[in-house]
Amino acid sequence: MTRTQYGALPYRIDEGGQVEILLVTSRRSRRWIIPKGWPVKGLTPALSAAREAFEEAGVLGQVADREIGRFSYLKIFEKTQDSTDCEVIVFPLLVERQLEAWPEASQRELRWVSVQAASEMASDEGLKSVINSAPAMAASAGGGALKAS
């Protein structure tokens, strides 16, 4: 059975007008990923994704209510080493604020990088595809964003 997770693709526009993506490391394997996690009861999928971005990367901003892509991966649970197939539904998050302290700050590394670098750093092919959609997503951003704070 495939389980659903919601992910945020945190991005910003640099001074030259180029899109930058914020990647985080996974806690166990230290792979470069995006913030993602299980649905949060009482929150929409987009706001669940925004909550993950806050917890894992300490960022706040506007999350779009429309997904920009999906990817699948095999989730391995740390304590039991059991695994399950997951599909991650990804929502873009325009970062407005980056906090100095956040819940998982001591467990992860963060890095702002170009779209090309983010695509090269991501180990999952499906995630690479979502990352590569970022410039078009940023160009069409503006409508359908939700404030996530």
Instruction: Look at residue 128 in the predicted model and tell me its pLDDT.
Output: 95
Closest CA to 10 of 90, 65, 87, 71: 90
pLDDT tens-digit profile of 21-52?
999 999 888 899 999 999 999 999 999 999 99
| Percent of the chain residues past pLDDT 70, beyond the cut | 91
Q: Residue 149, Cβ neighbours under 10 Å: how many?
A: 9
Query: Taking a C-beta distance cutoff of 8 angstroms, is the pair 58, 146 a contact?
Result: no
Instruction: Look at residue 57 in the predicted model and tell me its pLDDT.
Output: 97
Instruction: Look at residue 145 in the predicted model and tell me its pLDDT.
Output: 42
Q: Which residues in the chain show pLDDT less than 70? A: 138-149
HEC letters along the chain: CCEEEEEEEEEEECCCCCEEEEEEECCCCCCEECCEECCCCCCCHHHHHHHHHHHHHCEEEEEECCCCEEEEEEEECCCCCCEEEEEEEEEEEEEEEECCCCCCHHHCCEEEEEHHHHHHHECCHHHHHHHHCHHHHHHHCCCCEEEEC
Instruction: Look at residue 146 in the predicted model and tell me its pLDDT.
Output: 40
Closest CA to 35 of 2, 13, 65, 11: 11
Average pLDDT of the chain is 89
Q: For the whole prediction, is pTM greater than 0.85? A: yes
Query: Taking a C-beta distance cutoff of 8 angstroms, is the pair 94, 12 a contact?
Result: yes
Q: Report all structural domains of the chain as residue ranges with CATH numbers, in order of start.
A: 3-141 (3.90.79.10)
First and final C-alpha spacing in the chain? 33
